[in-house]
Amino acid sequence: MNILLFGAGGQVGRALRRALAPLGTVTALTRADREPEVWGDLAEPEGVSRTIRRLRPDVVVNAAAYTAVDRAEEERALAFRVNAEAVEAIARACADVGAWLVHYSTDYVFDGSGASPRREGDPVDPLNAYGESKLAGEQALARGLDRHLIFRTSWVYAATGANFLRTMLRLAGERDALQVVDDQIGAPTGADLIADVTAHALRSVVPADAQGQAGIYHLVARGETSWHDYARRVIERARAGGRPIAVSADAIRPVPTTAFPTPARRPLNSRLAVDRIERAFGLRMPAWTEGVDAVVDELVALRAA
Ligand code: NDP
């Protein structure tokens, strides 16, 4: 399988480099790749489609995205160019060369009302510009290309990159009290899990050209938590592993979302149902705690080394 990967330097992109390697040849591009025929910057969609037409991969995996949720309120045009216009251009080029396209989207396409897990076909209604741009990308992709897998995920973390887990570990070492939002509910999902499920799904659809399996899937870990309980688990796990932690357990205080006004509104209910992906690909999503504990242990061990 010849695979072209965009966004290879992000959390999910880095994990994909590992997970896709056994499937064949992976050409991994980042935003910094700006040779005319090997173009990885999605802010210029024409370069990206030229690259696909030239390399003619069997599969394109797009892990690149404009992910700065608050900044997107001001940089709306750039967010739409990267998250929607480039995705549309990628989909068209994939259609031209007969490639499958894997793309990632977000729980932020939903409005976060209620308390039940959203299913793939449930009505979408994003609360912020980032969510709107990601939704526009999903829609343009599905219009332009049959051979596609769109994986909606949430609360992504990894041992590298900018994420909540790493921020909490850092702050817990520096401060003696922390306030963490406790009224947004979702499932922290490891970049490794996303990459491994992607590789598994590709083995299932690409050799068989199984277009019946194309579509949108929710790809998140099982279970749910609040940012507050997630932070507590991360910090207590790290403390138990011997990492120096300044904050005491009872000084990790729950606060409502309204305590931290941000330019972009965030959904309170980020629950996504995973039955569809489990059934379609014969998988069982692990509990969110499994991947989180493993990454905390890895980070604690790295510091000890
Ligand atoms: P990251 O922010 O870790 O990675 C995004 C990558 O995209 C970065 O390497 C970034 O490069 C790159 N990128 C940004 N702009 C461009 C551009 N113009 N051209 C090429 N590359 C660009 O995000 P994740 O790995 O976590 O996200 C993967 C996918 O999952 C995305 O589709 C995202 O929308 C989705 N998602 C993520 C969530 C999360 O919590 N992170 C939650 C739900 C969905 P650089 O570092 O140079 O900016």
What's the mean pLDDT in 31-55? 95
Summarize pLDDT for 95-106 with one digit per residue, the tens. 999 999 999 999
Gap between the Cα atoms of 39 and 60, Å rounded: 13
Share of the chain above pLDDT 70, in %: 99
Q: Which helix H or strand E contains 78, and what residues bound it?
A: helix 76-80
Residue with CA nearest ligand 1 atom 7: 64
For residue 43, the ligand 1 atom closest to its alpha carbon is 18
Gap between the Cα atoms of 303 and 268, Å rounded: 34
**Quick check: CB of 79 below 6 Å from ligand 1?**
no
> Encoding tokens for residue 203?
């083995």
Query: What does the radius of gyration of the chain's CA atoms come to, in whole angstroms?
Result: 19
Dihedral sign, CA of 29, 32, 35, 37? positive
**Quick check: CB of 184 below 6 Å from ligand 1?**
no
Of 130, 157, 217, 230, which is the active-site residue? 130
Burial of residue 199, with CB atoms counted within 10 A of its CB: 0-12 exposed, 13-18 middle, 19 or more buried? buried
Place of tokens 């980070």: 299
Checking if the pLDDT of 305 tops 70, the result is no
Summarize pLDDT for 181-196 with one digit per residue, the tens. 999 999 999 999 999 9
- Mean pLDDT score of the chain: 96
Share of the chain above pLDDT 90, in %: 95
**Which residue from 161, 132, 168, 127 is spatially nearest to 263, judged by alpha carbons?**
127
**How many residues are given for the chain?**
305
What's the mean pLDDT in 228-246? 95
Summarize pLDDT for 241-291 with one digit per residue, the tens. 999 999 988 999 999 999 999 999 999 999 999 999 999 999 999 999 999
> Encoding tokens for residue 86?
């480039």
Q: Which of 156, 193, 272 to mutate to test the pocket of ligand 1 (most atoms within 8 A of CB)?
A: 156
**Quick check: CB of 161 below 6 Å from ligand 1?**
yes
pLDDT of residue 302: 87
What's the mean pLDDT in 111-119? 96
**Quick check: CB of 220 below 6 Å from ligand 1?**
no
Checking if the pLDDT of 303 tops 90, the result is no
Dihedral sign, CA of 277, 280, 284, 290? negative
Gap between the Cα atoms of 271 and 58, Å rounded: 33
Residue with CA nearest ligand 1 atom 9: 10
Please report which confidence band the pLDDT of residue 37 belongs to, taking 50, 70 and 90 as the band edges: confident
Catalytic annotation present for 130:
yes
Checking if the pLDDT of 36 tops 90, the result is no
For residue 246, how far is its CA from the centre of ligand 1 (angstroms)? 31
Checking if the pLDDT of 66 tops 70, the result is yes
pLDDT of residue 304: 67
For residue 66, how far is its CA from the centre of ligand 1 (angstroms)? 6
